[in-house]
Amino acid sequence: MTNLKNDVFLRALLRQPVDRTPVWMMRQAGRYLPEYRATRERAGSFLKLCMTPELACEVTLQPLARYPLDAAILFSDILTIPHALGLGLQFETGEGPRIERPVRSAADVAKLAVPDPATQLRYVIDAVSLIRRELAGRVPLIGFAGSPWTVGTYIVEGGSSREFARIKAMMFEEPQTLHRLLKLLADSTRVYLNAQIEAGAQAVMIFDTWGGVLTPALYREFSLQYMAQIVDGLTREREGRRVPVILFTKGGGAWLPEMAQTGCDALGVDWTTDLATARRAVNDQKALQGNLDPSVLYASPATIRENVGRVLESYGHGHGHVFNLGHGIHPAINPEHAGAMIAAVHELSPKYHR
């Protein structure tokens, strides 16, 4: 077992005492960093960057070299499972991901089988092992996957969507077909995350980016129940420590009490829900992660500091808060402004833990 030099992030997720609020950023290894852009150019394509463990490790570690962050997150993509399913994933410049062979019928679903992480997703598992080794206990490593519903939207739509017309048509007209697809994705995600944990991930996060486009009843049926199945099947202890699980539904503030019942350890909260409201909603029984609006980072360092203070004040005194953005950092953000946010968390948060 590697002794962690900084385990404040893991302790906060388990609502254990900490002397300050830990901080990391969703998409912290990303296009806002010039060093990331240089490595991405060297890789030749985004998919090659994801599929080359040495390069994935390099970009995972870049923000830690620049900032005093409390966690590293595996550099990968939520669409690695569709890639492993042989659906023809491509990333087109300026247009986002494309699925060459979308899944739109019961016959399409019947052709799919749970991918083996040791073979079809080996590049991710190798990246986790390499990153964990290179971190050498500096901070914990977060593994992640997309939620079945969110990954399913790309698989059925054939790429990004604004209206989700095809998957919603399937949901209403052929619900059993969609349920079969989501069950396969839940099984695949559970196996995939357990392989990441086995390789060295010390916490895992499930990103439900598009759960917020559903009605409450349909969210429960087509998104939440499948995330709950994944959580129920995850390895929760490794190397003598609990492996915390974070669930994040963007736009899901109204469903936090139900999300809390899945058995997860922490809930991600976007900027549309005050942390004070979220804390009451879960009866202070789950850790909360968030929730600065990423657009605040376009403002001056003084304004950033002020808004960091508001987020910390909204959560209030006590443990169980991981500071983060309410979603991923934008590509056009000045890296110095991200640094100003992190510095403000370090400066302002200790008083909430006394």
Q: State the Cα–Cα distance between residues 79 and 341, nearest whole angstrom.
A: 29
**What are 204's strand-pairing partners?**
143, 245
Residue 334 φ/ψ, nearest 5 degrees: -70, 125
Assess whether 31 carries a catalytic annotation.
yes
Please pick, among 11, 27, 132, 190, the residue that the annotation labels catalytic.
27
Portion of the chain with pLDDT greater than 90, in percent: 97
Instruction: List average pLDDT for each run of 10 residues in the chain, which is 354 residues long.
Output: 86 98 98 98 95 98 98 98 97 84 98 98 98 98 98 97 97 98 98 98 98 98 98 97 98 98 98 98 98 98 98 98 98 98 98 97
Q: Is 30 annotated as a binding residue?
A: yes
Q: State the Cα–Cα distance between residues 237 and 197, nearest whole angstrom.
A: 9
Please pick, among 11, 15, 40, 279, the residue that the annotation labels catalytic.
40
Assess whether 66 carries a catalytic annotation.
no
Give the pLDDT of residue 2: 58
Mean pLDDT over each residue of the chain, to the nearest integer: 97
Tokens of 293: 């609006």
Q: Is 15 annotated as a binding residue?
A: no
Assess whether 104 carries a catalytic annotation.
no
Query: 218 with 171: CB under 8 angstroms?
Result: yes
Assess whether 108 carries a catalytic annotation.
no
CATH of domain 8-353: 3.20.20.210
14-38 per-position pLDDT tens digit:
999 999 999 999 999 999 999 999 9
Assess whether 162 carries a catalytic annotation.
no
Give the pLDDT of residue 1: 44
- What does the angle CA 262 – CA 85 – CA 49 come to, to the nearest 5 degrees? 90
User: Could you tell me the pTM of the whole model?
Assistant: 0.97
